[in-house]
Structure 1
Amino acid sequence: MAERLIPGDTAPDFTLQDQTGNNVGLSDFRGRKTIVYFYPAASTPGCTKEACDFRDTLGSLQAAGYGVVGISPDSVKDLAKFADAEALTFPLLSDADHAVADAYAAWGEKKNYGKTYMGLIRSTIVVDEEGKVSLAQYNVRATGHVAKLRRDLKLDK
């Protein structure tokens, strides 16, 4: 498992397929700030809440110069269903082998009901215009995360 990213680190580059089957890479966002968030599974209650919070604030995030990209281990087909069902208009990327999550330290040991297993750690990494990490948050809660992120980015006055 990779070490957690910290501000100033170079964000690992990636190219993955989005919900429409197109390749999307971090380099596509060079020159603007990008919120890369990792979530465990499309169409589950927590992940739906978080995605809809990003959807509902997308206009103001974009107005502040931020793009949004969601990454999960789901298939492109499952991401397409999720995007359609929830009217999500930002890229949802399929990281089926969790290689990108590994590179971002968003894949690791989790505990649930006394069992330990490997899985996706809900995380958000903000990448600046030059591809450097400006904010890294791990083990975030789905509910209220976008509001907290906005405060941390000083977007809510």
Structure 2
Amino acid sequence: MTIEVGQIAPDFTLNDQDNNPVTLSGLQGKKVLIYFYPRASTPGCTIQACALRDTKAELDALNVVVLGISPDTPKKLTNFINKQELNFTLLADEDHATCEAYDVWQLKKFMGRENMGVVRTSFLVDENGNLEHIFNKFKTKDHHEVVLDYLNKN
């Protein structure tokens, strides 16, 4: 399945770090940055999350809600949030169904080994629930800048 700008974002309900369900369609009226990352508390994911944490005021001013999604358990997400003092919601996609719906659960090669995992990608959903932009060309350390740059120009 291909996911493209302009289509309605696949809806989902996932548990957050506190085991509370969060539904994408329940956030209509705001822009939602959904960012998929491989694993909580790993170096690249920590850099990416902390940069989003540090730009939250700018994102709030642009009416953007941040949702981080990974195949981690809610408990691992709670630990990640507490350790890094994250100020946005992380969602547990333990069966990776939402990752699959967004076509980010793919075969990856790392150090000569192949396994299925999350390809780091972010999706901007507009106020009406449509996919406005897909961010898939960035480094973990400048992800927040790429997102803010796009938001400020559009």
Using structure 2 for the length normalisation, give the TM-score.
0.95
Structure 1 residues 92-101 or 110-119, which shifts more?
A: 110-119
| Contact 1:122 1:141 (8 Å CA) reproduced | no
| Contact 2:62 2:151 (8 Å CA) reproduced | no
Q: Which stretches in structure 2 are left out of the alignment for 5+ residues?
A: none
Spell out the pairing of 1:8-157 with structure 2 (5 A cutoff): 8-138=6-136, 140-154=138-152
Aligned-pair identity in percent equals 42
Distance of 1:74 and 1:47 partners within structure 2: 12
Q: Deviations over 1:55-110 (max 9, x none)?
A: 10011101011110000000000000111111112110000010000000111111
Q: Deviations over 1:7-51 (max 9, x none)?
A: 101100000000011111102211110100000000111101100
| Contact 1:35 1:126 (8 Å CA) reproduced | yes
Q: Deviations over 1:86-143 (max 9, x none)?
A: 1112110000010000000111111112222211110100000110000012364212
Distance of 2:110 and 2:137 partners within structure 1: 13
| Contact 2:126 2:132 (8 Å CA) reproduced | yes
Distance of 2:53 and 2:19 partners within structure 1: 20
Using structure 1 for the length normalisation, give the TM-score.
0.93
Number of equivalent positions: 154
Q: Which stretches in structure 1 are left out of the alignment for 5+ residues?
A: none
Moved over 4 A (4+): none
Distance of 1:140 and 1:96 partners within structure 2: 25
| Contact 1:122 1:140 (8 Å CA) reproduced | no
1:17 partner amino acid: N
